C-alpha cells in the first residue's frame, strides 16, 4: 500500500500538502480570502459503469463533478480530497490511467488534490473501482444564491445541449449493441459561473443538472419557492443524436444526467448580459434562454408545447439509468 500511494497517487497529484502523507492536509489560506467570508464544502461518490466512456472516465468525472458542485454555489474551488475503493485484482495500469485523468482534470480546473485514502476490498465486494471526493471552495462576501429567491418574471438559462452524459453512458454500456458519436459533456464550470456572477451578482440560483437532469432540478426549485416554471418546448436544446437515442429506448432527455451543464435563474433585466457573459466562455458557447419563472400555478413545471397548450414536467419516479455518475 505504501508503494501504491507513493508511486501512483503522490507522484501524479504532486502537491506539497499531499507530499507530507499525513492524516490531514494543512494548506495555506489563499490570497482571495480577503474577498470572501465563507467556505463551501461538498462531498460526492462516483460509481459510474463503465469506468471509461466517450468524453471522459470516472477520474475526470470525480474531479469535475466536485468542482461543479462548488461552482454552482458561487464558490471558487480550491482543494479536493479523494478516496479510492479498489476491488482485489483491479489492474494497476487501469488505476494509473484513471489517476492520470484526475491529475489532468485537476490541473485544467486549477484545483489541487491535497489528501486521500485507499482501501482494497475482496474480489466480489465491489465493482472494480469506486471514488469518493470532497471539495472546499471560497464564497465571495455578500453572495447568496438560493431557490427561495425566485420571483415571477425571472429568466431560466442553460449553457448547452441536455442529456449528453446520460446518452454517452447508455451507448457505452456493454449490453447495448448501439453505435453513436455522442460524447459526455463532462467539464469544469467554475470559469463560467465566475463570469456569470461578474456580469450579474444578483443571479438568483444555479445548479448543475446531474442525476435526474433538468427536470429534477426545476421540480426541486418550485418546491422550494412558491412559484412555478414555464419552459418553451422549442427552446430546449437537445442534440438530434441524443433525441434519437431517447426515442429508441423510451427515455426523456430532460431527465438524463448531465456533467457539464448548469441551469441558472437570473432577473429578467440582466438576462441578456448574463447570456453574453456565458457565451464568452468555452463552457457556455451554446448557452440559451429556455423559460421563465411564473406565479401560477405554484409548485408546477410546465412546458409550452407550441400548440397553444402546456404539459406538466413532473418529478422523476425511479431512475432511468443507474450508476450514471
pLDDT digits (tens, 9 = 90+) for 120-150: 999 998 899 999 999 999 888 888 899 999 9
Mean pLDDT of the chain: 90
Q: Which of 140, 166, 194 is the last residue of a domain?
A: 140
DSSP E strands in the chain: the ranges are: 36-46, 52-53, 56-57, 76-87, 112-121, 129-140, 155-158, 205-208, 228-232, 262-266, 288-294, 301-304, 310-312
Residue 35 has pLDDT above 60, yes or no: no
Which domain range does residue 32 map to?
2-140
Q: What are the tens digits of pLDDT across the range 93-107?
A: 999 999 999 999 999
pLDDT, residue 174, reads 60
CA separation for the pair 293, 230 (Å, rounded): 6
Same domain, 40 and 151: no
Between these two residues, 81 and 24, which has the higher pLDDT value? 81
Could you tell me if 195 and 74 are in contact, meaning their C-beta atoms sit under 8 angstroms apart?
no
Q: Establish if 239 belongs to a structural domain.
A: yes
Q: How many domains does the chain have?
A: 2
A 10 A CB-CB count for 153 gives 13
Q: Establish if 34 belongs to a structural domain.
A: yes
Same domain, 196 and 103: no
Same domain, 75 and 121: yes
pLDDT, residue 30, reads 67
Q: Establish if 324 belongs to a structural domain.
A: no
pLDDT, residue 177, reads 66
Which among 77, 86, 139 is positioned nearest to 113, based on CA atoms? 77
Same domain, 106 and 231: no
pLDDT, residue 136, reads 93
Strands 205-208 vs 129-140: parallel, antiparallel or unpaired = unpaired
Same domain, 238 and 100: no
Q: What are the tens digits of pLDDT across the range 4-15?
A: 777 788 878 877
Same domain, 36 and 58: yes
- Cis bond before residue 50 (omega within 30° of 0): yes
Q: What is the pTM for the complete model shown?
A: 0.91
The percent of residues above 90 in pLDDT, for the chain, comes to 72
Number of residues in the chain: 325
Same domain, 172 and 302: yes
CA separation for the pair 247, 133 (Å, rounded): 35
Residue 37's pLDDT band (boundaries 50, 70, 90)? low
Amino acid at each position: 500500500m505504501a508503494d501504491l500511494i507513493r508511486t501512483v497517487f503522490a507522484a501524479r497529484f504532486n502537491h506539497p500538502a499531499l507530499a507530507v502523507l499525513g492524516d490531514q492536509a494543512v494548506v495555506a489560506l489563499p490570497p482571495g480570502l480577503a474577498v470572501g467570508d465563507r467556505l463551501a464544502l461538498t462531498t460526492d461518490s462516483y460509481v459510474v459503469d463503465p469506468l471509461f466512456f466517450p468524453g471522459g472516465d470516472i477520474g475526470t468525472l470525480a474531479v469535475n463533478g466536485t468542482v461543479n458542485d462548488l461552482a454552482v454555489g458561487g464558490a471558487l474551488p480550491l482543494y479536493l480530497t479523494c478516496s479510492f475503493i479498489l476491488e482485489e485484482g483491479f489492474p494497476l495500469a487501469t488505476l494509473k490511467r484513471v489517476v492520470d485523468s484526475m491529475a489532468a482534470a485537476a490541473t485544467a480546473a486549477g484545483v489541487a488534490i491535497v489528501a486521500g485514502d485507499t482501501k482494497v476490498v475482496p474480489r466480489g465486494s465491489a465493482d472494480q473501482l469506486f471514488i469518493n471526493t470532497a471539495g472546499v471552495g471560497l464564497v465571495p462576501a455578500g453572495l447568496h444564491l438560493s431557490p427561495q429567491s425566485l420571483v415571477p418574471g425571472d429568466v431560466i438559462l442553460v449553457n448547452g445541449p441536455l442529456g449528453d452524459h446520460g446518452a454517452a453512458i447508455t451507448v457505452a454500456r456493454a449490453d447495448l449493441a448501439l453505435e453513436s458519436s455522442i460524447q459526455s459533456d463532462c467539464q469544469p464550470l467554475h470559469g463560467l459561473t465566475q463570469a456569470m456572477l461578474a456580469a450579474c451578482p444578483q443571479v438568483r440560483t444555479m445548479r448543475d443538472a446531474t442525476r435526474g437532469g433538468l427536470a429534477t432540478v426545476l421540480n426541486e426549485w418550485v418546491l422550494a419557492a412558491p412559484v412555478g416554471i414555464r419552459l418553451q418546448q422549442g427552446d430546449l436544446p437537445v442534440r438530434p443524436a441524443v433525441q434519437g437515442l431517447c426515442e429508441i429506448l423510451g427515455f426523456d432527455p430532460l431527465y438524463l444526467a448531465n456533467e457539464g451543464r448548469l441551469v441558472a435563474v437570473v432577473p429578467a433585466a440582466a438576462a441578456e448580459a448574463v447570456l453574453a457573459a456565458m457565451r464568452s466562455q468555452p463552457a457556455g458557447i451554446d448557452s440559451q434562454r429556455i423559460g421563465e419563472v411564473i406565479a401560477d400555478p405554484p409548485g408546477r413545471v410546465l412546458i409550452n408545447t407550441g400548440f397553444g397548450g402546456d404539459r406538466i414536467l413532473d418529478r422523476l419516479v425511479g431512475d432511468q439509468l443507474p450508476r450514471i455518475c
